[in-house]
Structure 1
Amino acid sequence: MSKAGKDRNRARQIVEQQKARERRRKVTLWTSIGVVFLLIAAGLVGYAMSSSQQNADAGKLVVPAAAVDGGTAFAVGSGPVAVDLYEDFMCPVCRVFEAQSSATLRGLAAKNEITLRYHPVAILDHASEGTQYSSRAAGASAAAAQGGKFVEYHDVLYANQPQENTPGLTDDKLIELGRTVGLTDPTFADAVKNKTYVPWATKNTETFSARGYTGTPTIVVAGKQVTGANNSLPTTADITKAIDAAKG
């Protein structure tokens, strides 16, 4: 074979080798891309599963162990007459009621003449510009009850009650108020941040409605709703009269 022929053969071999290398490079490239896509897909599936689990956990009903009356209320005292108060922490009339009648009812509970049962409900979520303040506050009060500070936290929430049609207090503020009444355990802050008891607040509100009640505050003595004249807010005298009647 002539030198020219040998050179042509050598050139063809080089070209074939280059083509072969290019084919291997493409196979390697697409294999790598495929692996990357598989990893991404696996990651997305994992993320989706994790997110679904987190969403499921966030919506899980957790009933506070401290709750009574079928897990709907927090009790003060252990007297023979049950006095049930259904309240929304954004309800201005509830705050008026507390200022008017709380001292008397707490006094009766302290003497074990009544069992005072607080039912936090959330009927005014629509009045907090989308922040669900009523539900968040009710849930925070449940976390406070778990920490043994329901009454103290209940009172500090009313002392710092936001106006209707405002965003209400932030979660950070709810946690800060908890610290002022001794709720310094991280468990309380975690429950507020994670909205652990918000589904419970929702369930409580559904129970409130199922029991036939429509507004807050609703005051029930020995199973009978107490109202003032023309279905107005009952006075302290109205409530104590109903309590006396229930004693027999």
Structure 2
Amino acid sequence: MSKGTKERAAKARQIVEQQRAADRRRSVTLWTSVAVVVVLFIAGLVGYSLVAGKDDGKVSTPASAVDAGTAFAVGTGPVTVDIYEDFMCPACNNFEQAAGPTLKQLVDDNKITLRYHPVAILDRFSNGTEYSTRAAAASAAAAAEGKFVEYHDVLYANQPAEGTDGLDNAKLIELGKSVGLTSDAFADAVNEGTYKTWATQATEKFSEKNFTGTPTITVNGEQLKGPGDTLPTPELLTEAVQKAAG
């Protein structure tokens, strides 16, 4: 092989090696770019999930709520009576029918501050519609417009049986209209579930107090029960209020 031929062959090999090196550099650059894009994409997804989760967990609490935002108060008497109730609970309705007039009279006589705590522990009895949560949330929407007691009473007057779907949102809105809740704000709050997270949080706080059932009644923080863990009668309730007042 002549000297010129050898030089041309060496030159050709050099060009090939340079081309291969360039290809390797392009390959590394390409995969590095892909990796960066993937990392940024994943980071974006994580960031979005965090933001979305934060938004989903936002709790809207009516301005009128008391007791760490879990209750709605009526009256300004010196003795505080707390009622923890689930709008699908038949025992709660029984207590309301039996003791409701007495409680309202104690409020009118300025003997008690009555605090209603809607909670949702019976969702499992509404065939997946979460009626307890939706009803509690709707009562919060009513409270936001100054009509908690009126709506509270109409919900019990139309209480669905356990094991049914409960009342749908359209019916909850219709009942609201019957007590003067005619605004779009109330209807939107019911349809959009504005206060559902609030209802969940109120229920969690109820559980944190080691209460296990509804209705739970306390007088100045002391749980009140009838004989044999029965519901307190209006007479027992009145007696407990008098005792607490000194």
Instruction: Give the TM interval when normalised to the shorter protein.
Output: 0.7 to 0.9
Q: What is the deviation of 1:53?
A: 6.8
Q: How does 1:71-220 map to 2 (within 5 A)?
A: 71-220=69-218
Equivalent residue number for residue 3 of structure 1? none
Cα offsets for 1:111-154 (capped at 9, x unmatched): 21100000000000111001100000000000000111100000
The 8 Å contact of residues 58 and 195 in structure 1, kept in 2 or not, is answered as no
**One-letter code of the match for 2:63?**
A
Equivalent residue number for residue 67 of structure 1? 65
Give the Cα separation in 1 of the matches to 2:56 and 2:183: 21
Which segments of 5 or more consecutive residues in structure 1 lack a partner in the other structure?
Answer: 1-44
TM-score for both structures, normalised by structure 2: 0.78
TM-score for both structures, normalised by structure 1: 0.78
The 8 Å contact of residues 85 and 118 in structure 1, kept in 2 or not, is answered as yes
**One-letter code of the match for 2:187?**
A
Cα offsets for 1:84-119 (capped at 9, x unmatched): 000000000100000000011111112211000000
What number of residue pairs does the alignment pair up?
203
Cα offsets for 1:170-219 (capped at 9, x unmatched): 01110111011000111101111110111111011111111111100000
Q: How does 1:226-241 map to 2 (within 5 A)?
A: 226-241=224-239
Give the Cα separation in 2 of the matches to 1:62 and 1:230: 39
Structure 1 residues 188 and 69, CA, compared in 2 at 3 Å: closer, same or farther? same
Give the Cα separation in 2 of the matches to 1:158 and 1:52: 39
Structure 1 residues 136 and 229, CA, compared in 2 at 3 Å: closer, same or farther? same
**One-letter code of the match for 2:85?**
E
Structure 1 residues 223 and 192, CA, compared in 2 at 3 Å: closer, same or farther? same
Equivalent residue number for residue 222 of structure 1? 220
Q: What is the deviation of 1:64?
A: 1.1
Equivalent residue number for residue 21 of structure 2? none
